[in-house]
Amino acid sequence: MSLAANLRTRLARAPASIIIMASLLGAFVLMALFAPLLAPFDPARQSLIQRLRPPGHTTAQGLTYLMGTDDLGRDLLSRVIHGARASMLVAVASVSVSLLIGSALGMLAGWRRGWIEVAIMRFVDIMLSIPAILLAVLAVAVVGPGFQTLILVLGLTRWPRYARVAYAQTLQVATLPYMRAAELAGAGGPRLLLRHILPNIAGPLLVVATAEFGLMILFEASLSFLGLGIQPPTPSWGTILSAGRQYLERAWWLTAFPGACLFLLVLSVNVLGDWLRDHLDPRSRPRG
């Protein structure tokens, strides 16, 4: 039984909460993929006389804004649906870039030790010490704003976190007898790292990755004040939220809906991540 097959059978036996979370995540993914088909309105279409309408507001022409409108009179529902696209793309792209770079370098450092360790880990320290904002500013000044720049900045500034976690875990795992057994079996570097170390350190990495997943969506919003975010009028949850916080008292829906979406997305990613980790561990069979 391969790992994937193993996982499949486990998924079939997963508790209801996992199924719910998986469908939730699936729904968000579908929402992102088919946003143009799902959104009732053009998310960029403004109507300044229809600013800040509450959810369910129906105009004289009979158009209904299910989630209300934002501060430029755009349909919030359509923006949230389209926002899923940008936000999830940012999260997936930046998390995978930094997870890849970070865990590879971290494992290498923890396993090889010696000067490679010093070089990698001190570089990690350097990257961690430089405020991300600073690099973001430079990137915007030199490369110009845009989605690629955003991913570049997020990927470049976040990988050291993964690297440190991977490094610390690898240090510990590398001392275990089964690593020596694998070495004896003739496993070379890549195999030792991928087959022996990685599965045994995947848990903490997964925790960081799932935590970062939500963070990246929020980060995009925080970076938008430097111009690094998704450029308007393309919506993202982060920018909708940060724009909405000005209207907390007047228009709660501007933060409540995208906030709830974000919460549910992060929840599902976290719960699935933890479940995945638990079930990648062959020792923890479901109870009963």
Partner 1 sequence: MSGAVLDVRDAAVHFRSRGGFLRKAGAPLKAVDGVSLAIAPGETLGLVGESGCGKSTLANAILGLVPLTAGHIKVAGRLVDSADRDSLGTIRSDAQMVFQDPALSLNPRLSIGAAIGEPLLVRGLARGSALRDRVALLLKAVGLEPDHASRFPHAFSGGQRQRIVIARALALQPKLVICDEPVSALDVSVRAQILNLLVDLQRERGMSYLFVSHDLSVVRHIADRVAVMYLGRIVETASMSVLFGKPRHPYTQALLAAAPEPDPVRQRAKPRRVLDGELPSPTNLPPGCAFSTRCPLASDLCRSERPRLSAHPDGASVACHHAEE
Partner 2 sequence: AQPYRDSITIDLPNDAATLDPHLQWDTDSYAIYRNIFDNLVTRDVSGKIVPQIAESWRQVDDTTLSFKIRSGVRFHDGSPLTSEDVAYSIRRIIDPALRSPQLSQFDQIASAEATDATTVVMKTKAPYPALMAQLVKLSIVPKAVVERIGAQAFNLQPVGSGPYKLRAWQRGVGVTLDAVPDYWRGRPPFDTASFRVVPDVATRIADLQTGRADIVRQLGPDEAVRIKSDAKLQVLAAPTERIGYMFINAVSGPTQDVRVRRAIAHAIDRKTLIEALLQGYGKEVDVVLTPANFGYIEGIGGNAFDPARAKALLREANAVNAQLSFLTSPAYDRRLVEALQQMLQEVGFKVDIQTMDHPTFLRRRQGRPDEAGSISLGRWSCACQDADGVIFPLFRSGSIWAKYANADFDKQVDAARATLDEAMRLTHYRRAFEILRDEVPGLGLYQDFAIYGARREIRWQPTANEAFFLFDMRWQP
Partner 3 sequence: MTAPVLDIDRLRLEIGAAAVVDGLSLSVGQGEIVALVGESGCGKSLSALAVLRLLPDAVRLAGGRILLEGKDLATRDMSSMAAIRGRDASIIFQEPTASLDPLMPVGDQIAEALTAHRSVSAREAMLRAREMLVSIGISDPDRRLAQYPFELSGGMCQRIMIAIALICGPRLLIADEPTTALDVTIQAQILHLIRQLVAERGTAVLLITHDMGVVADIADRVVVMYAGRVAETATAEELFRAPRHPYTALLLASIPRAGIKPKSRLATIEGTVPPPSSHGSGCRFASRCPLAEDRCRIESPPLVDHAPGHQAACWRSGQVATLGAAA
Stretch that binds partner 2, among 18-26, 190-198, 228-236, 261-269 (CB under 8 A): 228-236
Q: Rounded to a whole number, what is the largest CA-CA distance in the chain?
A: 78
Question: Closest separation between CB of residue 192 and partner 3, Å?
Answer: 20
Based on the number of CB atoms within 10 Å of its own CB, is 285 exposed (0-12), middle (13-18) or buried (19 or more)?
Answer: exposed
Site string for partner 2, 246-285 (x = CB under 8 A): xxxxx-----------------------------------
Question: Closest separation between CB of residue 15 and partner 3, Å?
Answer: 15
**144 touches which of partner 2, partner 3, partner 1, none (CB within 5 to 8 A by kind)?**
partner 2
Stretch that binds partner 1, among 85-93, 182-190, 231-239, 245-253 (CB under 8 A): 182-190
Backbone φ/ψ region at 176: left (φ over 0), alpha (ψ -120 to 50), beta: beta
Backbone φ/ψ region at 223: left (φ over 0), alpha (ψ -120 to 50), beta: alpha
Contact 254, 240 (CB under 8 A): yes
Question: Closest separation between CB of residue 176 and partner 1, Å?
Answer: 7
Site string for partner 3, 117-156 (x = CB under 8 A): ----------------------------------------
State the Cα–Cα distance between residues 156 and 39, nearest whole angstrom: 33
User: Which position among 40, 199, 204, 227 is part of the footprint of partner 2 (CB under 8 A)?
Assistant: 227
Q: Which amino acid is at 117?
A: E
Contact 84, 37 (CB under 8 A): no
Count Cβ atoms below 10 Å from residue 133 Cβ, excluding itself. Answer: 15
Which residues of this protein are in contact with partner 2, per CB under 8 A? 44, 46, 48-49, 51, 71-73, 137, 140-141, 144-145, 224-229, 231-233, 243, 245-250
Which residues of this protein are in contact with partner 3, per CB under 8 A? 175, 284-285, 287-288
